[in-house]
Each structure stands twice: as C-alpha cells, then as structure tokens.
A and B are shown apart, each in its own frame.
Chain A
Amino acid sequence: MNQNDPDIMARLHDQFADKIEDVNAVDQPTLMVALDDLIPVLTFLKTQENYAMCLDVLAVDYLPSRPRFELVYHLYQPWKRARIRVKTRVAIDQSVPTVTTLWPGANWPEREAFDLFGIVFSGHPDLKRIYLPEDWDGHPLRKDYPLTGTRID
C-alpha cells in the first residue's frame, strides 16, 4: 500500500465532504466520485496537492450494471512519490469532460478509451481513433464485442 501521502483522503474529505466515497484497494488510496464532481476533485488534486502526473486514464466495462462504464485515473505526486486512484461511473450515453486541460498527457489514453470503449470526452483537442482504422465498426474492449468471427461489410 502506497502510504507516502497518508492524509490525502482526510484532506479530500475536508474539501469535498460527502461527495467522495472511499474504496477499499490493496495498493493505493482509491476514491469514487460522481461524474459531475470529477473535474473539481481532479483540479484540487492537481493544483492544491501537486499531483502533477496523470499516469493513466482507462475505462472498465461492467456490462449489465448501470451506469455501464467506470473511468479510472491514476495520479502521481512526484515529490512525495504518492499515488492516488480516482474513479467515476459513466453511462453509455454520457460524455466525460476531458482532463487534457489539466494534464496534456491524458490526450492519448483518452483517445484510446474512445477508440476501444466508445467513451466520448468533451473538449478533447483531437478526439479520433488511435489504434483502429477510422471506419472500424464497434469498440473492441466492450464486453459485448465478440472475441472471434469474420468481419462482414
């Protein structure tokens, strides 16, 4: 368990009260926020707590549940060597505000989540498929996308 910034959860609770929800994880402090509170929480972590690096942005598809997707942000505080994970739930018809304004490095991972999961990031400077061809149908990492089969055009 990364405990390099032990009071971070307490400070987040002071700032955002009951808007954030603690999640049990074996490796690092983890919290769940509503989609509307995502940008305020991430902005606080970036500007007030100096979490200067966004190591990864990724999506997980929990198919039968609603909202369907979970977005996971892995943040890093390079001076304290501290990590934190912020999660939010996204429905299939919802668009997520981009974090490229906070961390430009989130550009490609957000494009990847768009490409492979079909999650739309509003305000992204260059939202297009990154791995697959522009005319590809479907989003392969969704759980309802088949693993094998021939493509019918």
Chain B
Amino acid sequence: MAADKLESTQTVDPGQTMIINLGPQHPSTHGVLRVRLELDGERVVHAEPVVGYLHTGFEKTAENLTYQQCNTITDRLDYLAPMTNNLAYVLAVEKLLGVEVPKRAQYIRVLFAELTRVASHLVWLGTHVMDLGAMSLFFYTMREREVILDLIEDAAGVRMNPSYFRIGGLAYDLPAGFHEKVHEFVKDFPRWMKSYRHLFEGNPLINERLEGIATITQEQALAWSVTGPNLRATGLPIDLRKDEPYSSYEDFDFDVPVRTGADAYARFWVRVDEIYEAMKIIEQAIDKITPTGPYTSSDRKISLPPRDEIYGNMEALIHQFKLVTQGFVVPAGEVYQAVEGPRGEMGFYIVSDGGTKPYRWRARTPSFYNLQTMPLMCKDGLVADVITAIGSIDIMLGDVDK
C-alpha cells in the first residue's frame, strides 16, 4: 500500500484513538510495569500505568515477623538499593527504642548507603542509555556495579538482599582487608566514570532524546509527591541528608546537585552528578572508619552478644536465646523516619503496640509516587518518549508494588 494512502486513512477520522499495552513483559519497563497507552497515530493521548504485577504483600507479612526479622523484607522493596531501605527501617525502630548506635557503625552505614547509591545509579545509567539506543554502556556499568556488589558480599555475605544493617548497629564487623578494597575502588572509579562519559557526554543522539522530553515542572512535582533526583531536577535542592541529617551525615562534606531544566535531560545529569558526590562521601567515610571498634550497640536487650561470649557466659546465652526466639519489645508509639534513597524519600512509618512485632509497618516507597506522574510526562508526546519517561524517573517495580 502506498504511503500517501496510509496517511489519508489516518486523517479521515482524527478523533479515533487506539489502545496499546506496553508491558507488563517489556525490557524497557524495567520490571513488570504495564502502561496502557491511548494513541492517536504516534501521539500519546493518555498513558496510564497499571501496577500490581509484583505485589507480594510485604506490609502484611511484616506485621507477623519480629522487628529484627522485618529487616529482611526491606531489602526486597528496592532491590537495587537494599542498604538504603535497611537504613530507613533500622533508624525508624531505633528512634522508637531510643537506642544509641556507635559512631563507627554509623559511618559504616553511610559508606554502604552511598555504595548502593552508586550501584543503583550505575544500573539506571546503563539501562536508561540502553533504552535510548546506546547498547554498550550497559555492559560497562553492570561490570563496575559488580565490584560494588563484591564489596557488599565481603561485608554481608551476599551480593543482593544483604540485611547488613541491624537494629542497634550492624550484623557483623567489616572483614580484614576491606579498607584496601574500598581504597582501590575509590582509586579506579574516576577512570571508569570518565570512560562512560565518553559514550554519552555531548552525544547528539542521546541529547536529542532527552532535552525537553517528559517535563515535570516544580509545581507538578510538589503536587504529585515527587521526591529525590526527580525533584532536584526542577530546581529545589531538597536532600534529606542535608536537611534532616541522619546517621551522622552532618560530618560529611558534599554538595547537592540541582538542575532547573525539569526535563529528562536535567534528571539525567542530576543523577550523574550524584554519583560523583556519593564517591566523595565514600572517600571520606572510609577514612573515618577505624579498622577496629564497636560495630553494634552494647545494649544486650537489642543487639546479639558476640559469638565467643555465648559459650562461656550464662547471661549472654540467655540474651541470645531471648533475642532469637522472641525478639525484643519496642515501646508503644508511632514513628516516621525517611532517608534519601537513590530514587527519593524512602520512609518507614511504624506503629508499635508495645509487643515484639510491629502493629503497622508502612513503607513509603519513592517509586510509587514518582510513577504517578506518567500521564503528565507522556501527554502529547511520542511513543518513543514514553520509554524515555519511564527510564528518566528511575522507577523500581519492587518499590512500586511492594
């Protein structure tokens, strides 16, 4: 059929729209997101995200686990940045308990929170640029992310879902030789980052697909509860690490990258700049962490006693038994604690009835709120820009569906 004939059939009925499903199984949806697209030719009339394909009922499950056990569930929310979720959760419970965490453990928490931020942004960078058509960067970023996962494995024992932070401190102390590995990583990373930049910086193919695409203005971002890099790309320097420092972030010197473009391009560069700032914090943190020292609180009613004490000390054995079989009691009350995750404000709201299990366990996951802006970003855009929009707000479906 001739092209001009096709065009003429399209102009016959301009009001006629077509419904197309993007996903749930589609590589560019970064998981199992379904977008119900209403199209007028190539133009998007309405894009409605349909979520729930990864819903696992974490909040219900958590209500039936002890406080320390719930920690393992937080890993599985945003599985690209598990340490951030751990951090938000343990800080929330610690606030209710009023427990003091040693400075060294706080610095180690900062170190791992920033390492996961870099790892998460590397996955975002690779997949986002791949969505835009540049395949090769993905292989490099995934390779370098593996170095960070190796560091996590060294400390926590597993690559993903580490549950390394525990209420009261950390699960274990850092292994021998860990400082050297981090120093090596810090030394190598700028070189890797430079090689990535050669692939995307100033690349007209990538810039054309980002500039002016999928705009969320500042008013829209605030009204739709958008947080994190997506909000900072609209010119508001809101970063919880600066505004409400937790886990001794006030001891670190770093900047908050802000852009004013409010489009996919601005969000892209906010995240790239954040990788450098996170590296700055990692460098300072590893210098602040002493090779030996306390890694968990000395409160035996909350933290497990050291292994060697259990075999020789009756009291330690009792504490170990009580903590493992029953858990500890958290005073009745409610608390909300948020941290600055790679995707935005990751918060936990916990209601305690004075028992050993949370009465209500609520995760305020950033991607869930950020994804709501899909219809705004995609309206009147092209189908190809829907892919840009999904990548540019950096959603994580484990986070959306919980």
Which residues of A are at the interface with B, using a C-beta cutoff of 8 A? 2, 24-28, 30, 52-56, 58, 60-61, 72, 74, 78, 81, 83, 85, 103-109, 116, 129-132, 140-141, 145, 147
16 additional A-B residue pairs with CB within 8 Å, beyond A25-B333, A30-B334: A27-B335, A27-B337, A52-B223, A54-B225, A55-B225, A56-B225, A56-B364, A60-B351, A60-B359, A74-B347, A74-B364, A78-B222, A78-B236, A104-B224, A108-B368, A140-B60
* B52, B60, B338: the one within 8 Å of A130 (CB): B52
Structural contact, A104 and B223, CB atoms closer than 8 A: yes
Instruction: Give 1 or 0 for each of B353-373: 1 = CB within 8 Å of chain A CB.
Output: 000000110101000110010
Chain A residue contacts of B236, Cβ below 8 A: 78
CA distance A64 to B243 in the complex (A): 40
Grouping DSSP codes into helix (H, G, I), strand (E, B) and loop, the B interface class, with mixed when no group exceeds half, is mixed
* B59, B98, B225, B345: the one within 8 Å of A141 (CB): B59
Which residues of B are at the interface with A, using a C-beta cutoff of 8 A? 51-52, 55, 57, 59-61, 64, 95-96, 98, 222-227, 236, 238, 243-244, 333-338, 345, 347, 349, 351, 359-360, 362, 364, 368-369, 372, 401
CA distance A104 to B337 in the complex (A): 23
Chain A residue contacts of B243, Cβ below 8 A: 81
Known: A26-B333, A141-B60. A53 touches B225 (CB 8 A): yes
* B95, B222, B347: the one within 8 Å of A53 (CB): B222
The 10 closest A-B pairs by CB, nearest first: A105-B225, A131-B52, A131-B55, A105-B224, A81-B243, A52-B222, A60-B360, A56-B364, A27-B335, A58-B362
16 residue pairs A–B, Cβ–Cβ below 8 Å: A27-B336, A55-B227, A55-B345, A58-B349, A60-B360, A72-B349, A74-B349, A78-B222, A81-B243, A83-B336, A107-B372, A108-B368, A140-B57, A145-B60, A147-B60, A147-B61
Known: A55-B225, A103-B223, A131-B55. A81 touches B349 (CB 8 A): no
Chain B residue contacts of A83, Cβ below 8 A: 336
CA distance A61 to B359 in the complex (A): 9
Structural contact, A26 and B244, CB atoms closer than 8 A: no
- A97 CB to closest chain B CB (Å) equals 18
